[in-house]
Amino acid sequence: MSETQFLFAPPPRPSVAIDGEIERFPVRRIFCVGLNYAAHAREMGKDPGAEPPFFFSKPADAVVVSGTVIPYAPMTRNFHHEIELVAALGSGGANILRTRALEHVYGYAAGIDLTRRDLQKQARDEGKPWDLAKGFDQSAPIGAIHPAARIGHPNSGRIALSVNGALRQNGDLADMILDVAGVIAELSRYVALAAGDLIFTGTPEGVGPLVPGDRVEGDIAGVGEVSLGIAH
Ligand code: MN
């Protein structure tokens, strides 16, 4: 059997560290949930009762190893942090039952959904897609994945983010509108999920701008940490 011949060497597979393991988690796709915490929906000028959570995506190669210093993103003057619980899938499928959904989660990590807020608002106001407000280079910093076999499936606990030591976001996983099982069940109605998919499950209130030189630290109780620097 001959191997596939490529015109040029395929790019390296994006991956995420797994706590306590030598193997890395190979990333297939990155999905994200919008407006999954009521208080954050309200700070975005939305009525959480009228606008249920929805989905968008980022390219797989947007992942950034925790601890990296990245440049301030181009084409924005309002570069925001959003701390999020990330579910890493070890298997998948379409139309997954909510009651079976957690069986597909390999583990969890803390991630940051970096956002060009000005581009997002402009696209929203103009009725245009906001892909490039969310899915851009280095827009998905993520800490090590902690296997569910060790930490279980967290559904409550503090989710917090600080910038230069000052607390900016301080929420609780229990306030998610769709919990992880609900997210997987609903998302799998739209796409067939698969091993390697990462799902950023939404951010609590307190999102805000980053500036060059900032040091960002996120922490989810019982799950893990993520850190990030913004270059001067
Ligand atoms: Mn988000």
91 CA → ligand 1 middle, Å:
23
Nearest CA-CA partner of 52 in 161, 153, 187, 154: 187
Structure tokens at 11: 């790019």
10 CA → ligand 1 middle, Å:
29
40 CA → ligand 1 middle, Å:
10
The pLDDT value recorded for residue 50 is 85
CB-based contact 231:212 (threshold 8 Å): yes
83 CA → ligand 1 middle, Å:
7
Q: How far are the Cα atoms of 75, 83, 198 from residue 32, in angstroms, in the given order?
A: 22, 12, 8
Full pLDDT tens readout for the chain, 232 residues: 678 999 999 999 999 999 999 999 999 999 999 999 999 989 999 998 888 899 999 999 999 999 999 999 999 999 999 999 999 999 999 999 999 999 999 999 999 999 999 999 999 999 999 999 999 999 999 999 999 999 999 999 999 999 999 999 999 999 999 999 999 999 999 999 999 999 999 999 999 999 999 999 999 999 999 999 999 9
22 CA → ligand 1 middle, Å:
29
The pLDDT value recorded for residue 51 is 86
33 CA → ligand 1 middle, Å:
6
Percentages of the chain per state (helix, strand, coil), in multiples of 5: 20, 35, 45
193 CA → ligand 1 middle, Å:
19
Q: Are strands 158-163 and 166-172 parallel, antiparallel or unpaired?
A: antiparallel
Residue with tokens 């970096």: 114
Q: Distance between CA atoms of 140 and 25, rounded to whole angstroms?
A: 15
Q: Distance between CA atoms of 99 and 181, rounded to whole angstroms?
A: 7
